[in-house]
Amino acid sequence: MGVHKKLMDARILLQQAPLKKSGHNKFAGYSYFELGDFLPTINQIFARVGLCGVVSFDKELATLTITDTEDSTEIKLTSPMAEANLKGCHPIQNLGAVETYTRRYLWVSAMEIVEHDALDSSPPMKEDKVIISPTQGAQQDIPIEELRYLEEVAIELIAMCEQGDPRAALVKLDEENLDNEQKIALWTLLPSKVRSALKKAKEM
């Protein structure tokens, strides 16, 4: 059948599963899928269709390798690693937060898990320090090395917001001293729920 066909079948089976969101960001007022909300179901589906998924980490990249257990063909998805500086956490906790978020991000991407929300149409902020109007094609003129760095910053901002600390994310964003082009590109990397959380924090 092939790893690509099996992955497509697994995605369809997951879409039919009654998943429930247990994560809740009280600050921004939205719910989201925790890793534990969908990973056990994915494991059951993978066992059924003949796939195996393994996440590995090195200093620069997190990699999700999905392997066909019959012919050993593979699909690899990667995400840059980033450092988190969550309030009140020691280094090991910060590392755990980054790895947990990155695992969740990779699985959401691989299985095309969609989290619908009504925040996409939120009006843009007028402050100069945060560019919040997503622009199509904003990443096209960014060098690949620079874009990878912006992806790392985005992961850290998302982790902070999902830990309920969007103010720390705003401080981190200001400390980066990005130019307008970089800010626009970074903003397009953030989920709408995180953009909304940053907007609300900025308005307070």
pLDDT tens-digit map of 78-126: 988 765 544 444 455 556 667 788 888 899 889 988 764 433 333 444 3
Q: How sure is the predictor about 141, in pLDDT bands with cuts at 50, 70 and 90?
A: low
User: What integer pLDDT is reported at residue 73 of this predicted model?
Assistant: 93
Highest mean pLDDT among 25-29, 42-46, 116-120, 152-156: 42-46
User: What integer pLDDT is reported at residue 124 of this predicted model?
Assistant: 42
The residue extents of the domains of the chain are 1-116, 120-204
pTM: predicted TM-score of the whole model, two decimal places: 0.54
User: What integer pLDDT is reported at residue 125 of this predicted model?
Assistant: 41
CA quadruple 167, 168, 174, 178: dihedral sign? negative
The number of helix segments (H) and strand segments (E) in the chain equals 7, 5
Q: Residue 204 contacts by C-beta under 8 Å, 6 or more apart in sequence?
A: 167
Average pLDDT, the chain: 77
